[in-house]
Structure 1
Amino acid sequence: MIKRLLLVLALILAAAAPALAVNPDEVLSDPALEARARTLSAQLRCMVCQNQSIDDSNADLAKDLRLLVRERLVDGDSDRQVLDYIVSRYGEFVLLKPRFSARTILLWATPVLLILAGGLSLLLFARRRVGRPTGSALTDDERARLDRILGE
């Protein structure tokens, strides 16, 4: 019984592991260069899948980009040079996390502006409600009935 439970647990853990699309023929023989290539591949967007990194995508273009990254690293480029080269060919969109620049300031500032606008609107709404009566005034009959109830 325990063996079956352990087997099921191992299968669940194996299924939850990330499925990387890097093929064995793409892997570099130098472990340090391969680690750099994996790090860079995780930062680059697959232009076909768009919400996956090229490290996770099985698309042909993702494979080409993975090979290009590895080729540039073998040629001696730094990580920054590799990213700059790919961005120069495919544009800023290829980066999963866009760089902070004058062209992307609106992209980075929008969440902050939305939070400030929401906070300001909540503050204004709350200030309008303070001091405002929440109901209508009591009629004479209601006031007399209330006095009777409270008097008892």
Structure 2
Amino acid sequence: MRLFAIFVLALLAIPFGMTAQAQDSMPPAPYAYRQLDDPAQEAEARALMETLRCLKCQSQSIADSDAPMAGDMRHQVRTRIEAGEEPEAIRAWLIERYGDYVSYEPALSSTTWPLFAIPVLLMLIVGIVLARRLSRRKGEA
């Protein structure tokens, strides 16, 4: 019975594996690896791409990543820049689509304020503790 269950699970996993392989074997989007003809537009696109995080690699910007997802995102950025869209509008669209995590420069919002406040609070607590210890030592001497 256990062997039958493993066999059934293996059969169910085949279509999912084929889907993932098919996605990676698709040709890259036209602007994934090709720069825009206008150098000013390409510089604008490049500057924006360096501030956007690859969702698959997570440690690289979409400008530096070779992941297919990053290539698709580069294509979207270049296509929208070429169409005349402003970089901040493109950033807003990508954040709406993928969430705050896609940006290396997250905006201060109701969900991200703890990320900014907690380090400041920790530094204040450390400063208070050090000040008290130093004042005690001066009092003992």
Task: Indicate the TM-score class for this superposition, using the shorter chain for normalisation.
Answer: 0.7 to 0.9
Residue 64 of structure 1: aligned partner: 72
Aligned length in residues: 111
* Other-structure match for 1:27: 35
The 3 A distance-change label for structure 1 pair 102 and 85 is same
Deviation of 1:56 after TM superposition, in Å, equals 0.6
The aligned residue for residue 103 of structure 1 is: 111
SS class of match (1:26): coil
Unpaired stretches in structure 2, ≥5 consecutive residues: 1-30
**Which of residues 102, 111, 115 in structure 2 aligns to 1:94?**
102
Q: % of aligned pairs identical?
A: 41
TM-score scaled by structure 1? 0.67
Worse-superposed segment, 104-113 or 57-66: 104-113
Structure 1 counterpart of 2:124:
116
Distance 1:131 1:46 in 2: 54
Write the deviation string for residues 78-109 of structure 1: whole angstroms up to 9, x where unpaired: 11110011001000000012112232111112
The answer to which structure, 1 or 2, has the higher relative contact order (CA under 8 A, 6+ apart) is 2
TM-score (norm 2): 0.72
Q: Which has the larger radius of gyration?
A: 1
Q: Per-residue CA shift, 1:22-65, capped at 9, x if unaligned?
A: x8842000111100110000000011111110001111100000
Unaligned runs of 5+ in 1: 1-22, 134-152
Structure 1 stretches of 4+ with a deviation exceeding 3 A read none
State the AA in 2 paired with 1:83: R
Amino acid at match of 1:54: I
Question: Which residue in 2 is equivalent to 1:55?
Answer: 63
Q: RMSD of aligned C-alpha atoms? A: 1.7
